[in-house]
Amino acid sequence: MSHPAAKLSLTEWSRRLFLAVLLAVLGVAGWGLGQLQSIDREVRGHRAEEAQRELQNALLSVQNQAVQSLHKLVAWDETRQQLYDPGYYHYWLADRLTQADTAVLSGRTVQLYDRLGHALDGGLSGLPKALPAGPPNVLLAPAGSDERHLFIYAPVSEGDGKLIGYVGAQVDLPHVLSSLNSLSYTDPNSLHLVPSTSGVLSGKSLLDHFRYEIAPDTDWQTLRRQILNTYLGLALVVLTGFLIQFLFLHHKLARPLKRFAEKIYRLSTGGTELQAVQELSNPMPLAELETVRQALQGYRRRLSEAYQNLESRNAAFRDQARRDAMTGVLNRRAFEEDWSTLIEQAGGRPVGVALLLFDCDHFKAINDTYGHGTGDHVLKAICYVLGQVMRSVDHLYRLGGDEFATLLPHADEGQAMRLAQRCQKALEAHDFRQYKLKESVSVSIGVAVDEVSRVEEMTRLQARADTAMYRAKRPGSARVHMHGKSEALDSTLVASPEVSALYRALADPTRFNFLYQPLVRLSDGRAEYHEVLTRIGLGHGVMGPERFLEIVRNRRLEKDLDLAVLTRLRQHLREGTIPPGSGLAINLFAQSLACTDILAILQDMACAHSDNPFLLEITEHALNQEGADLAGPMLALRQVGFRLALDDFGKAYSPLSYLAELPVQYLKFDPTLTRQLHRDDTRGRMVTRFARLMHEAGYLLMAEGVESAQHLARVRALGFDYAQGYFLGRPAASLLPQMAATGSMLAGAPDGKNDPDAVEEGHQKAQ
């Protein structure tokens, strides 16, 4: 998968443009330098040719002048006289020779030689002592390391041609050439002679034995320097201009835009930094940026207003979520949050906490006798009275039903007991007869005080307060009980690990685990439904219903449990953990049918998962308390597709009048009745006839606790429509293997236990 190319920033584009201009300038400069080098080579080549030409001419001119001067000396009589009689030879060289018209020659550069080639009078310093062999009138390289002078010589003869000697002369080339003023391209001072191997140089090859340097062309050098300076100046101007442009774009455009972008990004990602910042408060130097700043400033102000409104609404929503809708006091969620906050703020240090639990005595009887409306008025009055007694910093929480609590940080036992007694007196003084009650209303208060620093210690504190509250309810008690630190917990009233696990699961439904046990249709042996069995994680094991249902009933948490379980079950359905089309049998307390939140979840499940058949198993033992008030919600559930079954039928022996008023379709016999069906005694015959009576009345019958082949044969013979038990299928953690199974579940069913007592034990393990 190809990813979109990263976008370049304005700064990066400016940097790249600057680099491109720099490379262009360097390229132009390189091309210009190349052109200058080419012109320079052409100029040097031209000057080299001209230097060679002028030097050739100058050397010929010097040679001719030297030869002419030498010939004058040869023709001079005094020269012959000195060869015949060199008595005053040195005088002649020093005085007479300098007066002679010899052009390039002087007395210090002339030497006479006899006819054998030996210098007269030992020779002068710097001149050859003897002549080399060779033809006359040749140019010779002088001896030694002197490379700036030439030595020429010519024979001197009598009139008859008789050789009497030689005349030799030394020529200072730089001096002579400079005096000629004929060198424009050659540096005279750089001339030097390279001697030949023979020591004799011919006039034609004289130039080949000279080394010289070309005189610099000052005009061209000046022009070349001016061109280079012009190139350098233009490059600096261009680069400086682009650098200034780059810095301007970076500081005046790119950096403000980057800050704007970062600001907008923080806002788009949920940032809450809405206070005025420097780049939004100060005017921008560019008109376009100023327009952007003003627009962003206006957007920031509007967003700030929207955020403040949202914060206010969120605060209101948070407060509503933490408050009980009916009484207006804080709810269980707020209690648990404040509990956790108290532990966090302690930071591992023990902090003294007093916990007071309030419970209205016989509140269920008030609801049943006077109705829910009166019961609601009583609860509101209790909250009002307790709120008047407590301090403004103390909070009252409704934990559920008619149970309330308050936390008193940094309080000792005396302070907690005094507050509890004031609350008790205030409640006793309140006139509850205004709500048309004929009897008084009393509240039991349990108090526990301890230093806590961990969640486990807080859980134990709640367990102690719970124990104290139940002891305050005992006949003859003072309605207020303080649980001392040395006092043992009453395990019949509260079991701290189980209570803590239950409350944690109610607050976080993901802690609930489900098992699925098939409910088999006896007509074809198919598992039409799978009953959802609830478990709660506890330490390294699980807690089954036989352990947590007693806590639920004692604390009247039936609606809370059903709400949490249905929330978790709906999550499984949405995630696809439960295969589409799977029939589910869901247990539900009768009290929960009056809860609008629970009904809303059930209706949502029926609409969102219409391909999943749902069977609601309503617990029978609560019907004598709820009665016909549940007929309406049950009928509404049937209309959206739910099938209704009366669970644990026969366990509570509810009057048949309740059953006739309820729109249930199925009766699920409790295992205690199922085990009676195969007995041939009075109880067995009575249960058998009762089952036939219900079947004839039009109900579909379900037998729970079928643990053997005898049980299965008996319920089939009696016309039961469905059966459930270990003999037909054990609870499993997943529906997938069970849904993958094909064929009748009655074929090849496992052998069960035939002993009725063993059957009872197996059924309890299944629960």
Domain 500-766 in CATH 3.40.1160.10: no
- pLDDT the model gives residue 357: 92
Report the chain's C-alpha Rg in angstroms.
62
The Cα 669–Cα 660 span in angstroms is 17
The Cα 141–Cα 164 span in angstroms is 24
- Lowest mean pLDDT, pick from 545-549, 552-556, 660-664: 552-556
- Lowest mean pLDDT, pick from 204-208, 369-373, 421-425: 204-208
Task: Label residue 521 by pLDDT band (50, 70, 90).
Answer: very high
- Of residues 148 and 330, more confidence is placed in 330
- CATH number corresponding to 11-216: 3.30.450.20
Mean pLDDT score of the chain: 78
What 3-state DSSP class applies to 401?
A: coil
Whether the pLDDT of residue 416 is over 50: the answer is yes
Task: Label residue 626 by pLDDT band (50, 70, 90).
Answer: very low
The pair of three-digit structure tokens given for residue 221, joined into one six-digit string? 């050098």
- pLDDT the model gives residue 749: 52
- Lowest mean pLDDT, pick from 67-76, 388-397, 514-523: 67-76
- Of residues 352 and 106, more confidence is placed in 352
Whether the pLDDT of residue 9 is over 60: the answer is yes
Cα atoms found within 13 Å of the Cα of residue 637, Cβ hemisphere only: 31
The Cα 279–Cα 287 span in angstroms is 14
The Cα 318–Cα 309 span in angstroms is 14
- Lowest mean pLDDT, pick from 354-368, 542-556, 625-639: 625-639
Mean per-residue pLDDT, 118-136: 75
The Cα 442–Cα 362 span in angstroms is 8
- Is the Cβ–Cβ distance between 399 and 405 less than 8 Å? yes
- pLDDT the model gives residue 380: 92
- pLDDT the model gives residue 757: 39
Give ∠ CA 406-411-417 in degrees, rounded to 5: 70
Any idea which residue has 């004289």 for tokens?
206
Burial of 248: CB neighbours in 10 Å, binned 0-12, 13-18, 19+ = middle
Whether the pLDDT of residue 760 is over 70: the answer is no
The Cα 759–Cα 99 span in angstroms is 162
Burial of 438: CB neighbours in 10 Å, binned 0-12, 13-18, 19+ = exposed
Task: Label residue 750 by pLDDT band (50, 70, 90).
Answer: very low
Percentage of residues of the chain with pLDDT beyond 90:
12
Whether the pLDDT of residue 530 is over 50: the answer is yes
Over residues 557-577, the pLDDT tens digits come to: 788 889 999 999 999 888 888
Domain boundaries, the chain: 11-216, 232-308, 322-494, 500-766
Any idea which residue has 């090859």 for tokens?
205
- CATH number corresponding to 322-494: 3.30.70.270
DSSP 490: -
Over residues 426-450, the pLDDT tens digits come to: 998 898 888 888 778 889 999 999 8
- Strands 722-724 and 512-521 turn out to be antiparallel
- pLDDT the model gives residue 490: 52
- Is the Cβ–Cβ distance between 588 and 616 less than 8 Å? yes
Over residues 243-260, the pLDDT tens digits come to: 887 777 777 777 777 776
- pLDDT the model gives residue 643: 93
- Is the Cβ–Cβ distance between 331 and 393 less than 8 Å? no
Task: Label residue 687 by pLDDT band (50, 70, 90).
Answer: confident
The pair of three-digit structure tokens given for residue 281, joined into one six-digit string? 């408060």
Whether the pLDDT of residue 299 is over 80: the answer is no
- pLDDT the model gives residue 383: 93
Contacts 24+ apart (CB under 8 A), 178-181: 180/58, 180/61, 180/62
Whether the pLDDT of residue 13 is over 80: the answer is no
- Is the Cβ–Cβ distance between 281 and 300 less than 8 Å? no
Whether the pLDDT of residue 39 is over 90: the answer is no
The Cα 522–Cα 717 span in angstroms is 11
Over residues 192-232, the pLDDT tens digits come to: 777 665 555 655 566 777 777 887 878 888 888 888 888 78
Question: Which stretch of DSSP H or E encloses residue 562?
Answer: helix 558-575
- Of residues 345 and 749, more confidence is placed in 345
Task: Label residue 625 by pLDDT band (50, 70, 90).
Answer: very low
- pLDDT the model gives residue 163: 87
Which among 68-72, 74-78, 488-492, 523-527 has the top mean pLDDT? Answer: 523-527
- Of residues 641 and 472, more confidence is placed in 641
Whether the pLDDT of residue 405 is over 90: the answer is yes
